[in-house]
């Protein structure tokens, strides 16, 4: 049954996205906030379909601060990016540059306002990311980054990259860690019934030394993620 639901959800995902991508094409030349709202609408529609078709809902825990804050989130599936767009108002997400070249999707997220980073550029990419993040903060928007830079399966070894520490130091702000267990339910093609939990943890205060910050960030995210994965394992419904 899970496979059948997953196929139906994929059909919904593709059909709805195709229609919406065409409908919002004119927004590329209109004010940026119109594309932001369209992106949020698309994300929420995907969540609606996921719940109705695949039986997979979600729960939000913790407080989501408004305004220019730095968010650092665990990354397990595409669901995570949709969640950040849908839950954090007018967020600027740090993404890999390759995504921008994807027709329609890449155009739209670029217009909504993301920071696209060339991960092969080394130190220059970090400088560019920090400069763009400062401009984003100056406009009153939040910045979100996936500290490991790529998706990780539940229980996989961690690999936190230095980019998040660079943003934390350059921006001089607190950092909100974000834990989740989406990888148990959104597993590539398969969408398993249950409830994804995303948890916004208490902020890490500004001013910590680089090594101390990285240790604290990883400890908070991984501890909370492990707990959410254990919770998900107890409630995951197999059919």
Strands (E), 21-77: 56-61, 70-73
Name the residue with tokens 């408004």.
Answer: 66
pLDDT at 14 over 90: yes
The span from the CA of 178 to the CA of 204, in Å, is 11
Helix (H, G, I), strand (E, B) or coil at 178: strand
As a whole number, the mean pLDDT across the chain is: 93
Structure tokens at 18: 């195709």
Closest CA to 117 of 67, 166, 73, 63: 166
Helix (H, G, I), strand (E, B) or coil at 142: strand
pLDDT in tens, 155-204: 999 999 989 999 999 999 999 999 999 999 999 889 999 999 999 999 99
pLDDT in tens, 69-109: 999 999 999 999 999 999 999 999 999 888 888 988 899 99
The answer to whether the beta carbons of residues 183 and 233 sit under 8 Å apart is no
pLDDT at 121 over 70: no
What is the structure's pLDDT at 237?
Answer: 57
Distance of CA 139 to the CA centre of its chain: 20
CB burial string 151-180: b at 16+ within 10 A, e below: bbebeeeeebbebbbbbbbbbebbbbbbbb
Structure tokens at 173: 């702000």
Please report which confidence band the pLDDT of residue 235 belongs to, taking 50, 70 and 90 as the band edges.
confident
User: SS3 sequence, 55-69?
Assistant: CEEEEEECCCCCCCC
> Where are the domains positioned within the chain?
2-235
What percent of the chain stands above pLDDT 90?
A: 83
Strands (E), 80-148: 91-96, 115-117, 142-145
What is the structure's pLDDT at 239?
Answer: 46
The span from the CA of 232 to the CA of 214, in Å, is 26
The answer to whether the beta carbons of residues 75 and 150 sit under 8 Å apart is yes
The span from the CA of 158 to the CA of 232, in Å, is 19
The span from the CA of 8 to the CA of 10, in Å, is 5
pLDDT in tens, 21-58: 999 999 999 999 999 999 999 999 999 999 999 999 99
CATH topology of domain 2-235: Glycerol-3-phosphate (1)-acyltransferase (3.40.1130)
pLDDT in tens, 129-156: 889 999 999 999 999 999 998 899 999 9
């Amino acid at each position: 049954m899970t496979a059948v639901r997953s196929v139906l959800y994929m059909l919904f995902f593709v059909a709805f996205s195709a229609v919406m991508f065409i409908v919002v094409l004119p927004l590329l030349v209109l004010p940026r906030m119109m594309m932001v709202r369209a992106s949020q609408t698309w994300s929420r529609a995907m969540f609606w379909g996921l719940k109705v078709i695949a039986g997979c809902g979600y729960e939000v825990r913790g407080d989501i601060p408004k305004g220019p804050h730095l968010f650092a989130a665990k990354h397990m599936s595409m669901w995570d990016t949709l969640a950040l767009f849908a839950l954090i108002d007018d967020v600027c997400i740090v993404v890999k540059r390759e995504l921008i070249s994807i027709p329609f999707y890449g155009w739209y997220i670029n217009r909504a306002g993301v920071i696209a980073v060339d991960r092969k550029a080394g130190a220059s990419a970090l400088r560019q990311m920090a400069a763009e993040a400062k401009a984003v903060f100056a406009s009153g928007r939040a910045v979100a980054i996936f500290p490991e830079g790529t998706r990780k399966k539940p229980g996989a070894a961690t690999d936190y990259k230095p980019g998040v520490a660079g943003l934390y130091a350059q921006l001089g702000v607190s950092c909100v860690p974000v834990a989740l267990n989406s990888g148990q339910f959104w597993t590539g093609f398969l969408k398993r019934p249950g409830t994804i939990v995303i948890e916004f943890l208490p902020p890490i205060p500004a001013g910590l030394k680089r090594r101390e910050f990285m240790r604290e960030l990883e400890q908070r995210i991984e501890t909370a993620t492990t707990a959410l994965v254990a919770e998900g394992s107890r409630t995951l419904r197999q059919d």
